Amino acid sequence: MNRIFKNHLLMINYIFFIILFCLFFTRPCPAAPETDTLHVLAMGDSRIYTDILAARSAAVTECLQTAVEEMAITMVPADILTQKFELISNLISARRNEYITTYKVLKEINTEKNYQVLVQVTVSGAKLTADLAEAGVIVSTQELPVLLFLISEQQADDIAPQYWWRKEKSVFQANAAGAALTAPFKAKAFPVIDTETVPMGFFDDLALSARLTDDEAVETGRRLNADIVVTGSAVVREMANRMGASVLTFQGTVSARALITETGEQIAETTAAKTRGSRDIAAGSNDVLSAAGAEAGESLSAQITAAWYKHILPPGEITLRIAGNDILPHLVLFRNELEKIEGVTGQQTREMTPDEAVLAVQYNSTAQALADALLLKTFDAFGISIHEITHNAIVIELAVE
């Protein structure tokens, strides 16, 4: 019995050491980063030639660039990153500072030849996502708005416009402009409401006509749970120009505007006109409306993508860099006045030294608007001078009177 017990004990110890060995050499799996912000530790270095401060600045700049690049790599799928590499790289290089919410130098080493820094950087994924979308790079389709298209169409031989939401029972067939208009959105994976699934008589109480007002379009979109409604018209007219006796000339014009159903705000508008020749009225009308619709769709998709991401972008954080001689005694007064500005919802101190402070301010408007509001403030013991304003940062000099 003792022999069996000893064997079991030996086997348990053996299994325990195997598990312990595996745990010792197992590396933890990093959590998936949030898309709103990314906190990055970056190391940078720069060669010291004559100016130590210039070398420090270059090393910090390298860290900031690395942090934003890491955010882009985290957000953008590898295939899209490869395909759009030049566009994304140029965007980050040109607008890097706009995506950096805060940064702090944690450690710096000054050797004989190099200046090395360790920097903690917070990068705004929401802002980067919006700018990438504006440039045509869709990071995620989860936040794309649901679209409803309300485009009436009148071909050259139509007596009146045709439209799918009309009260009278009819089969809406003329959809050359509408199909071309929605194609760029579908290619970018925008969810588009299928109007054929809308029940007959769904809008009868609204008494809608071919040309909708903004209020009518918005109400229609709300009933179908659309985030954005695109409304407008597509019209073909036969021109006087002809080629011989059989070739007719047609001009097609597509006009459309996009409205957010939640607020009624117009976020995009376009008009496209094309001319085509054809021997057949129906074929010519379809051809010219398809061409005009395609051009209008490309314009609208770019405008709507950019505007929508800005619409859902959370209130921004603006960095205030305040410098001056012995500013600490006056910083409390400055922060008290800052808090009174309409639109300021919060503030935090990121860095503080006797001659410099960095504040992170939550503000529901632009950095320019915040700077304008600060200039209107009166400080008894000191004055402020604003030296630089970027998308999300303001550089201020505080001068004691």
Q: How far apart are the first and last CA of the chain?
A: 93
> pLDDT digits over 359-389, tens only?
888 887 778 888 888 988 888 788 888 888 7
Instruction: Classify 53 as helix, strand or coil.
Output: helix
173 confidence band (pLDDT: 50, 70, 90): low
Asked whether the beta carbons of 137 and 76 are under 8 A apart, the reply is yes
> pLDDT digits over 112-164, tens only?
788 888 988 888 777 787 778 777 777 665 677 899 999 999 888 888 888 88
**What structural domains does the chain harbor?**
37-134 (3.30.1660.40), 147-312 (3.40.50.10070), 316-400 (3.30.70)
DSSP-derived letter for residue 162 is B
Structure confidence at residue 149 (pLDDT): 94
> pLDDT digits over 282-292, tens only?
888 888 888 98
> pLDDT digits over 69-125, tens only?
888 887 787 777 887 888 888 888 888 888 887 788 888 888 878 888 898 888 877
**pTM for this prediction:** 0.55
Structure confidence at residue 19 (pLDDT): 44
Give the residues across from 152 on adjacent strands: 233
Burial of 231 (0-12, 13-18, 19+ CB in 10 A): buried
Residue of higher predicted confidence among 273 and 244 = 273
- Residue/partner pairs of 260-265 with CB below 8 Å, 24 or more apart: 260/227, 260/228, 260/311, 261/218, 261/221, 261/222, 261/226, 261/227, 261/228, 261/229, 262/227, 264/214, 264/215, 264/218
* Helical H segments across 280-366, by residue range: 281-312, 328-339
